[in-house]
Amino acid sequence: MSIAEFSTDLVWGAATVLAVSLIAFAMDLAQVSARRAEASRAEEESDAAPAAESADSAGASVSSAVEGGTPAGGSTATVTATDEAPQRRRAAGIGVSTAWLGTILLGVAIAARGVAAGRAPWANMYEFTLVGAFVALVVFLGVNVRRDIRWLGAFVTGIAILFIAVAQVNFFVPADGLQPALQSYWLVIHVGVAIIASGIFTVAFLMSVLQLLRDSRDEGSAILNRRGWGWLELTPTPTRLEGLSFRLNAVGFVLWTFTVIAGAIWAEHAWGRYWGWDPKEVWSFVVWVVYAAYLHARTTRGWSGRRAAYFVLVGYACVIFNFTGVNLIFNGKHSYSGM
């Protein structure tokens, strides 16, 4: 087995392990949703019971519940939530552990790809997609070390699996050397930073999606308040989600700014001009403008809540189009998809 084949097998292995992680995180959310529904039913029953009793019997029921009795539904819900909490943490713990394993396998696969090709492993769409998924996983796991964001695990592992599957099925190309225009140390700097920024934007995008869902639930959305969506209560408030997304987008924006500057410097070295209105150059600048407008609107114009979240969604849509649409639709000096 060659190193390139070993890399491909490892990628599929990483996807399999991440699928296990996705299932574990999904089970965690399902358990939370079930507990929320049970607690809601218990609360409704406890509210309805005193209405059918006298004031004295209602007071006795409440007293019994406080002292550890079973007549009140609220006590039952509390005990159930307490008893099931370790199980929920256990499912989430499995998700985190397998996410770490899948991320390590994917990292080794990317490194093996670089060894097989004899260069930095991000010179085409296939490699860029794999590394982008890897960065998104690292960002999630890194943030989770400092604060509990396991509620995001199912979404990060899910989008990582999607990226890996698309890369393997649609973007795969054999490991090979570089085109002459890419044989530069700027490949490591310019493209490497662009991938890191894209991975950070991915996690921030997912947080903004959850922000919109949680906000709609809090405002009484009929759909999101049905049974099965109780796991949204596990996520932070929309304000906190927005704050997390904003901080990640700010970091991603700084890295993307460096990406645009480094790309201009590399273009001058390679083609003798800093800017040439190439489709990739134009859309990279569009991405920069959208995120700059988002940061400006939020910090100086007071844009927050849904408007800020929608801005993030537009920005990430531009990132995805810059990576896929520009590479596959337009012909230019950056047409290095390898396909």
In which band, very low, low, confident or very high, does the pLDDT at 75 lie, cut at 50, 70 and 90? Answer: very low
Sign of CA dihedral 130, 108, 199, 234: positive
User: What pLDDT does 214 receive?
Assistant: 93
Query: Rounded mean pLDDT of 26-50?
Result: 71
Smallest Cα–Cα separation from 334: which of 262, 252, 277? 277
User: What pLDDT does 48 receive?
Assistant: 58
Residues above pLDDT 90, as percent of the chain: 55
User: What pLDDT does 80 receive?
Assistant: 37
User: What pLDDT does 107 receive?
Assistant: 97
Query: Left (φ > 0), alpha (ψ -120 to 50) or beta: where does 241 sit?
Result: alpha
Backbone torsions φ then ψ of 237, nearest 5 degrees: -65, 160
User: What pLDDT does 78 receive?
Assistant: 39
The domain spans of the chain are 178-339
In which band, very low, low, confident or very high, does the pLDDT at 336 lie, cut at 50, 70 and 90? Answer: low
| Cα–Cα distance list, 187 to 132, 183, 184, 233, 326 (Å) | 15, 7, 6, 43, 19
Lowest-pLDDT range, 56-70, 143-157, 173-187, 304-318? Answer: 56-70
The secondary structure of 23-85 as a DSSP string is HHHHHHHHHHHHHHHHHHHHHHHHHHTGGGS-HHHHHHHHHHHHTT-SSSHHHHHHHHHHHHH
Backbone torsions φ then ψ of 123, nearest 5 degrees: -105, -5
* Per-residue pLDDT reduced to its tens digit, 154-208: 999 999 999 999 999 999 999 888 777 677 888 889 999 999 999 999 999 999 9
* Per-residue pLDDT reduced to its tens digit, 78-127: 333 334 444 447 899 999 999 999 999 999 999 999 999 988 898 889 99
Mean pLDDT of the chain: 84
Query: Rounded mean pLDDT of 50-74?
Result: 44
CA distance linking residue 259 with residue 180, whole number of Å? 21
| Cα–Cα distance list, 188 to 87, 140, 194, 263 (Å) | 44, 23, 10, 11
User: What pLDDT does 180 receive?
Assistant: 72
Dig out the tokens for 100 from the structure.
Answer: 């770490």
More confident residue, 47 or 84: 47
Dig out the tokens for 293 from the structure.
Answer: 């407008």
CA distance linking residue 168 with residue 8, whole number of Å? 8
In which band, very low, low, confident or very high, does the pLDDT at 47 lie, cut at 50, 70 and 90? Answer: low
Tell whether the model's pLDDT for residue 74 goes beyond 60.
no
* Per-residue pLDDT reduced to its tens digit, 254-311: 999 999 999 999 888 878 888 888 888 999 999 999 999 999 999 887 788 899 999 9
Q: Specify the long-range contacts of residues 49-52, CB closer than 8 Å, at least 24 apart.
A: 49/73
Lowest-pLDDT range, 12-26, 167-181, 305-319? Answer: 167-181
